[in-house]
Amino acid sequence: MSLEITINHVEQTKISSYDIENVGFGKVFTDHMFSCDYINGAWQNPRIEPFGKIELSPTLSALHYGQAIFEGMKAFKNNDGKVAFFRPLENLKRLNVSAERMCMPQLPAEIFMEALHQLVKLDAAWIPVQAGSALYIRPFMFATDDFLGVKQSETYKFMVYACPVNAYYNHFLKVRVEEHYTRGAKGGAGFAKCAGNYAAAMYPTMLAQKEGFDQVLWTDGATHTLLEETGTSNVFVITKDAIYTPELTETLLDGITRKSVIELLKDWDQNIVEKNISIDELIQWHNTGDLLEMFVSGTAATLTNIEMFSYKGIRYDLNTNIDLLSVKIKEEFNAIRIGAKADRFNWMIALK
């Protein structure tokens, strides 16, 4: 396909209706959105239009059988007004891994990157600058066949929209270790960023939230004895000996923030270990005083500490009144993202 993107500008920006430095998370959207259609085996008609509702048929296969995948990524603006994306090619890679698992077409890099550059260039005024805020970008793809039977769709839509955001969590987290429900099973699609994974997590999350927890801390589906991730993020455990994070399996999301935390910790010569972490081990570390800190990592969640986890009805509190490593990591990420520190990992891609 040609990379010529048709652009239909808004008549009037709506930015003056908002204080974009104080918008919370996920409620305010920029002026424009990108769309592109997969028809007859090819991506076509790339376009940027005013952000708004789209017309869908009630028979749309994504609505019934869940062929729907998405990504979450961010763009930042530095003090000189320069804009850069954080590791967008990692999001593209993961989108295409999810697409393969959900039997959807691959998205070429040039469409993904051109959509990001042109959309964010148009809506750059919407990027908040205070630390912890960013322009959150949501690329997503869904099946669009009008057909009632269960089969892989022949047509798809890829879209991108963006929203200025502050922190997803503005407090430390209380999590409940899951003992019954399963997020990802062996041979399943836990590693894919597909809509169904989030839908299936909602009921157990609602039960946990009713009991006052913020999130479920998922365990492996086979034995419910190994830590996996929360409903919104990966998880890190810091002990006196090492920093641990569950090793990636087919049931875990390969988080880009997770990957970046690991790269940074290696650069800082920290003992970072990717391994199976059992709940028994976690409780033992807690009981012996070896457990120093736990935090979650994600694009939306950034780095957020866990202040308490619960297992079999017992609460395990963590001391968050210490020099938190998560805070140091977050500060380093922020410095790299806004250009205050050199991007020694080549994470940032400047807006063209």
Residues that bind ligand COI (CB under 6 A): 72, 232, 298-301
The answer to whether 95 and 141 have CB atoms below 8 angstroms apart is: yes
Q: How far is CA 257 from CA 102, 112, 300, in A?
A: 23, 20, 10
3-class SS string, 241-264: CCEEECCCCCCCCCCHHHHHHHHH
Among residues 144 and 299, whose Cβ is nearest to ligand COI? 299
Among residues 194 and 282, whose Cβ is nearest to ligand COI? 194
Nearest distance in Å: CB 230, ligand COI: 9
Nearest distance in Å: CB 298, ligand COI: 4
* Residue 233 CB neighbours (<10 A): 25
Among residues 203 and 268, whose Cβ is nearest to ligand COI? 203
Nearest distance in Å: CB 249, ligand COI: 19
Nearest distance in Å: CB 326, ligand COI: 16
SS3 content of the chain, % helix, strand, coil (to 5): 25, 30, 45
Among residues 61 and 232, whose Cβ is nearest to ligand COI? 232
Among residues 7 and 248, whose Cβ is nearest to ligand COI? 248
Nearest distance in Å: CB 265, ligand COI: 20
Among candidates 144, 143, 145, 141, which has minimal Cα distance to 161? 141
**DSSP string across 186-204:** TTSSTTS-BHHHHHHHHHH
The answer to whether 260 and 330 have CB atoms below 8 angstroms apart is: no
* Residue 26 CB neighbours (<10 A): 12
Nearest distance in Å: CB 219, ligand COI: 19
- Return the H-helix or E-strand segment holding 48: strand 42-50
Nearest distance in Å: CB 271, ligand COI: 27
Among residues 251 and 299, whose Cβ is nearest to ligand COI? 299
Among residues 134 and 292, whose Cβ is nearest to ligand COI? 134
| Residue showing the smallest CB distance to ligand COI in the complex | 72
Q: For residues 21 and 128, what is the distance between their CA atoms, to the nearest angstrom?
A: 5
